[in-house]
């Protein structure tokens, strides 16, 4: 299945929670989810009893949409999480959080994960001093992400700094806004991930 290109606000309404897919709009009173927090479609406001499988599927879909990954990518991360020590669900979220596009977003260098993905693809960032254009690249402890010298002068990033510069940076990351440099201080714990999801449901779904 190809990447979804429709109205992303419909995805938040479908999952019943904000996924922060539209950047600064999601934090404003103009967010459609504020006024229409029910599922899209003719029967969106009808309450339906959801089965156990339905809840598991919704949890997976919510996580996929939150991080902007395709089904094949998501299952690949699940397989990696299974092979690691510890709880599979937490390992899965930790892997998704360590994607380069997510880290760029978390550092406040993009207004959304979709924008972060595009900026990485267009060579705006360096990882440990080297050019990088792979959004799915997994960062590790000690990695340093910097904005390229040319990009620092662009109006695009000046606007991003104005709108996203005050956004809190997670404890597992460190950001120096004066020189547009971020660092992975440590890998995230579950408590560091402000994502309202029951990851156990995802593990149960894939374990059938």
The token duo for 178 is 């004066």
Phi first, then psi, for residue 87 (nearest 5°) are -80, 130
Q: Are 171 and 143 found together in one domain? A: yes
Same domain, 54 and 119: no
Same-domain check for residues 32 and 75: yes
Asked if the structure places residue 142 within a domain, the reply is yes
Domain coverage including residue 173: 99-187
Q: Are residues 105 and 131 in the same domain?
A: yes
Predicted local confidence at residue 166, as pLDDT:
87
**Residue 33 falls inside a structural domain:** yes
Q: What is the mean pLDDT of residues 17-27?
A: 57
Question: 180 lies in a domain?
Answer: yes
What mean pLDDT is predicted for residues 119-131? 96
Average pLDDT over residues 167-174: 95
What is the pLDDT averaged over residues 65-83? Answer: 95
pLDDT in tens, 52-63: 999 999 999 999
- Concatenate the DSSP letters of all residues of 78-115 into one string: HHHHHHSSS-HHHHHHHHHHTBHHHHHHHTTSSSSHHH
Same-domain status, 149 and 120: yes
Quick one: DSSP state of residue 43? T
pLDDT of residue 20: 58
Do 123 and 89 sit in the same domain of this protein?
no
- 117/176 same-domain check: yes
Same domain, 123 and 68: no
pLDDT band at 1 (very low <50, low <70, confident <90, very high): very low
Q: Is residue 1 part of a domain?
A: no
Q: List, in order, residues 6 or more apart from 50 with CB less than 8 Å away.
A: 58
Residue 23 has pLDDT above 60, yes or no: no
Q: Which CATH number is 75's domain given?
A: 1.10.1050.10
Whether residues 92 and 81 fall in one domain: yes
Predicted local distance difference test score (pLDDT) of residue 50: 80
- Residue 126 belongs to a domain with what CATH number? 3.10.290.10
The answer, yes or no, to whether residue 174 has pLDDT greater than 70, is: yes
- Write out pLDDT tens, residues 89-109: 999 999 999 999 999 999 999
Both 70 and 128 in a single domain?
no
Domain for residue 173, yes or no? yes
Q: Confirm if 94 and 188 have CB atoms less than 8 A apart.
A: yes
**What is the domain count for the chain?**
2
Residue 177 — left, alpha, or beta (φ > 0 → left; ψ -120 to 50 → alpha)? alpha
What pLDDT score was predicted for residue 30? 57
pLDDT band (50, 70, 90) for residue 12? low
Task: State how far the Cα of 33 lies from the Cα of 25, in Å rounded to an integer.
Answer: 10
Tokens 């792979």 sit on residue: 134
């Amino acid at each position: 299945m190809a990447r979804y290109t429709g109205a992303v606000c419909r995805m938040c309404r479908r999952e019943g929670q904000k996924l922060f897919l539209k950047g600064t709009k999601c934090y404003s009173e103009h967010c459609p989810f504020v006024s229409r927090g029910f599922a899209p479609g003719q029967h969106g406001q009808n309450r339906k009893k959801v089965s156990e499988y339905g809840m598991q599927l919704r949890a997976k879909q919510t996580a996929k949409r939150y991080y902007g990954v395709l089904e094949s990518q998501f299952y690949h991360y699940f397989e990696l999480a299974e092979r690691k020590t510890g709880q599979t669900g937490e390992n899965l979220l930790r892997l998704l959080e360590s994607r380069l596009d997510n880290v760029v977003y978390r550092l406040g260098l993009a207004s959304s994960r979709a924008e972060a993905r595009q900026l990485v693809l267009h060579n705006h960032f360096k990882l440990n001093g080297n050019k990088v254009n792979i959004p799915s690249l997994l960062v590790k402890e000690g990695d340093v992400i910097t904005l390229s010298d040319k990009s620092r002068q662009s109006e695009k990033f000046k606007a991003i700094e104005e709108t996203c510069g005050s956004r809190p940076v997670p404890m597992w990351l460190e950001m120096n806004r004066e020189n547009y440099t971020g660092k992975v201080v440590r890998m995230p714990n579950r408590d560091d991930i402000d994502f309202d999801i029951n990851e156990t449901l995802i593990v149960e779904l894939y374990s059938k």
